[in-house]
Amino acid sequence: MAGGARADSGEDRFIARFFRPVAGAPEALGLQDDAALLTPPDGTDLVLTTDALVAGVHFFPDDAPASVARKALRVNLSDLAAKGAHPLGALLTLAVPKDIPEAWMEAFADALGADATAYGCPLLGGDTVSTPGPVTLSITAFGAVPKGAFVPRTGARPGQAILVSGTIGDAALGLLLRQAPEREAFARLSDDKRAHLLDRYLHPQPRLALAPALRAHAAAAMDVSDGLVGDLAKMLAASGCGGRIEAHRVPLSAAAATAVGHDAALRVTALTGGDDYEILACVPHTAVHGFVLAAARAGVPVALIGETRTEAGLDVLDASGRPLDLGVGSYSHF
């Protein structure tokens, strides 16, 4: 080629090697264009969400790259699920050190591709750049809801039931277990129970199966990413009402219940810790039966944990009806 112009820069080879194999959807245009092209299904609104993850802040620098990729995609899918949406696709931006090992990139891209396929959320494009800092990535995910069916965070009204999916606190306990494995309550857990908590921290399970039930029955919903109590307080405040939950109704896994049984202080961790990626929903009482049935048909357990009210604020009550002192309610970056 005359003139020395190169059509294949190192960056292009990097993208071709690691990401083109996992971005096979036609909308991705082979990752060869400036942009991706998406035709939303007729009769739908588009739901857009984005989350950023920084090594040392949102994950451990030595976490397996496959786990980092899964978490990055799944936390966004969890947001789509909470809004009643199904995924259409995602874009990735990835900032990595120049000397990132090829094996890291390969494992990251493979896991992202596998999850994109498993969740029906094709990787449509992105941007890969170098950074002198920690690995930093963000995923923007696009979903669709039937027109007008978006489930807002602001739709709660006084006198509605408060429900939550799955079990709460596993991820926060998993994180604490990683930070303090010698803690008595953890040391007494079986290997299986320890593994369960660690896995829940690393690998969120987005509740996409719950989306149709939320659309049909919920007045408000959000996913629990920064802790059940703090996130519920946010949803109630955004809706202009308050509420009350009973701590003993909040569902715990066998592993979390055992840990809390050994060390009652861990209940606060479970209620206020982050990374659950379960769904909180406010549901009119007349719709609760339908919601629970629809959730069960979708294979997602949901539990009634409290009720909304007119008076602002959130009370968290113990089994005897007394307010629990929880300290700080949710994780915040600033």
Q: Applying CB under 8 A, which of residues 214, 233, 295, 302 lies at the interface with its own copies?
A: 233
By the rule CB under 8 A, 47 interacts with its own copies: yes
Backbone angle region of 316, left / alpha / beta, with phi > 0 → left and psi within -120 to 50 → alpha = beta
By the rule CB under 8 A, 25 interacts with its own copies: no
By the rule CB under 8 A, 9 interacts with its own copies: yes
Residue placing its CB nearer to its own copies in the complex, 2 or 264? 2
Q: Is 119 annotated as a binding residue?
A: no
105 token code pair: 């990139």
Helices (H), 120-279: 170-179, 184-187, 191-202, 211-217, 228-239, 254-262, 266-272
CB of 164 to its own copies, least distance (A): 15
Compute the chain's Rg from CA coordinates: 21
Residues 6+ apart with CB under 8 A from 309: 158, 159, 241, 242, 243, 244
By the rule CB under 8 A, 258 interacts with its own copies: no
Residue placing its CB nearer to its own copies in the complex, 66 or 314? 314
Q: Is 8 annotated as a binding residue?
A: no
By the rule CB under 8 A, 181 interacts with its own copies: no
By the rule CB under 8 A, 323 interacts with its own copies: yes
Count of other CB atoms within 10 angstroms of residue 61: 10
By the rule CB under 8 A, 329 interacts with its own copies: yes
By the rule CB under 8 A, 295 interacts with its own copies: no
Q: Applying CB under 8 A, which of residues 222, 255, 287, 294 lies at the interface with its own copies?
A: 222
Span 238-257, contacts to its own copies by CB under 8 A = 238
CB of 11 to its own copies, least distance (A): 4
Q: Is 191 annotated as a binding residue?
A: no
The Cα–Cα gap between 151 and 281 comes to 9
Count of other CB atoms within 10 angstroms of residue 4: 5
Q: Applying CB under 8 A, which of residues 123, 213, 236, 256 lies at the interface with its own copies?
A: 236
Find, among 272, 240, 259, 165, the residue nearest to 208 by Cα: 165
Find, among 48, 56, 57, 60, the residue nearest to 91 by Cα: 48
CB of 145 to its own copies, least distance (A): 8
Span 193-212, contacts to its own copies by CB under 8 A = none
Q: Applying CB under 8 A, which of residues 77, 124, 171, 198 lies at the interface with its own copies?
A: 124
CB of 279 to its own copies, least distance (A): 10
Find, among 253, 234, 252, 256, the residue nearest to 243 by Cα: 234
Identify any residues that bridge with 243 across adjacent strands, giving them in sequence order: 308, 314
